[in-house]
């Protein structure tokens, strides 16, 4: 893999991590067409995901800061919450609970099927079928009119979305697309579902980075620059893509990506079969 291929994959990761079209699926498909592409484990993919993690940390920095502040015990660095401040603390703690709950269910699925999921990262056929499924979810989600906002979320929402995020570890099943779609199916407003999906991605990506860190020492010295370049490009592209996605969700246009997933999935199946 050369520098330009690393940059290309970084752009693809940044665009597809948050757009509901499966970043892992795109990486598998593109990598399958790069002659002689190899990586220790899936560490390059994980570094690209870490780049998009940096993007979401910057994009949602205010929400993340509010959650972290709400977890500081009273009397340490803040006075007892009253009125509006007290409401922010309760809202932050409730969101933290939902993120932890969803992460637990994602982790159970991810750890239980880790090896099987790893093998699927070399199967463009599996990716193609999962893209078709993602397209169906996106198409249906545009037909729902959810109205619940963040303050109306409940623990069942986090459980359902956490389970869906675990299933979306399968390459080709869009993590953002499936979690946002099921949030909408649960009656959440599209932007609320999207923001929770982004927040829930933070511990999931961090967990993947920790699990794959054992392969970092196996990166060929000559490829380190390529890996870092891909990560930086993924971060910058991902930040810009987050803004675009929230605009698209406000317009209820997720079905656009359904057609894209179907076209890409069918095209890849035909090419690989031929």
Residue 123 gets which letter from DSSP?
-
Higher pLDDT: 17 or 193? It is 193
- pLDDT band of residue 81 (cuts 50, 70, 90) is low
pLDDT given at position 74: 66
DSSP string, 146-161: --B-GGG--HHHHHHH
First-to-last C-alpha distance (Å) of the chain: 26
Mean pLDDT, the chain, as a whole number? 85
Q: Are 194 and 245 in contact (CB under 8 A)?
A: yes
Which of 257, 273, 123 has its CA nearest to residue 190? 257
Q: What is the pLDDT of residues 123-172, one digit of tens each?
A: 778 888 999 999 999 999 988 877 899 999 999 999 999 999 999 988 88
Q: What is the pLDDT of residues 212-254, one digit of tens each?
A: 777 777 777 777 888 899 999 999 999 999 989 988 888 878 8
- pLDDT band of residue 78 (cuts 50, 70, 90) is low
Q: Are 170 and 130 in contact (CB under 8 A)?
A: yes
Higher pLDDT: 206 or 220? It is 206
pLDDT at 79 over 60: no
* Integer Cα distance of 17 and 48 in angstroms: 9
pLDDT at 59 over 90: yes
- pLDDT band of residue 9 (cuts 50, 70, 90) is confident
Residue 217 gets which letter from DSSP?
G
CB within 8 Å of 4: residues ≥ 6 apart: none
Which of 192, 38, 55, 42 has its CA nearest to residue 115? 42
Backbone angles phi, psi at 148, to 5 degrees: -75, 135
Q: Domain spans of the chain?
A: 3-273
pLDDT at 85 over 80: no
pLDDT given at position 199: 94
Higher pLDDT: 171 or 273? It is 171
pLDDT at 13 over 80: yes
Assign 27 to helix, strand or coil: helix
Q: Kindly report each contact of residues 67-75 with a partner whose C-beta sits within 8 Å and lies 24 or more positions away, as own/partner.
A: 67/92, 67/95, 67/96, 67/99, 67/199, 68/92, 70/96, 71/96
Higher pLDDT: 90 or 209? It is 90
Residue 148 bridge partners (DSSP): 188
Which of 24, 29, 23, 27 has its CA nearest to residue 6? 27
* Integer Cα distance of 50 and 6 in angstroms: 14
Q: What is the pLDDT of residues 36-55, one digit of tens each?
A: 776 655 677 788 888 989 99
């Amino acid at each position: 893999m050369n520098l330009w291929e690393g940059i290309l994959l970084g752009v693809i990761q940044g665009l597809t991590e948050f757009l509901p079209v499966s970043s892992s699926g795109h990486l598998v498909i593109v990598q399958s067409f790069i002659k002689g592409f190899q990586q220790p484990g899936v560490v390059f993919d994980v570094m690209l995901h870490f780049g998009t993690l940096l993007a979401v940390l910057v994009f949602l920095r205010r929400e993340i800061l509010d959650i972290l502040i709400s977890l500081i015990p009273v009397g340490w660095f803040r006075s007892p919450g009253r009125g509006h401040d007290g409401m922010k603390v309760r809202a932050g703690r409730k969101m933290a609970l939902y993120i932890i709950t969803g992460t637990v269910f994602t982790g159970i699925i991810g750890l239980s099927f880790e090896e099987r999921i790893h093998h699927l990262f070399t199967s463009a056929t599996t990716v193609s079928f999962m893209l078709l499924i993602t397209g169906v979810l996106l198409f249906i989600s545009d037909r729902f009119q959810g109205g619940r906002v963040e303050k109306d979320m409940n623990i069942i929402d986090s459980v359902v979305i956490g389970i869906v995020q675990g299933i979306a570890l399968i390459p080709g099943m869009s993590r953002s697309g499936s979690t946002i779609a099921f949030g909408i199916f649960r009656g959440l407003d599209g932007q609320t579902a999207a923001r929770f999906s982004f927040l829930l991605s933070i511990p999931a990506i961090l967990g993947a980075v920790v699990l794959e860190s054992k392969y970092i020492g196996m990166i060929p010295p000559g490829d380190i620059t390529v890996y870092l370049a891909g990560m930086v490009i993924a971060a910058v592209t991902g930040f810009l893509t987050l803004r675009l996605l929230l605009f698209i969700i406000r317009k209820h246009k997720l079905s656009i990506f359904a057609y894209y997933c179907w076209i890409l999935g069918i095209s890849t199946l035909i090419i690989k079969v031929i």
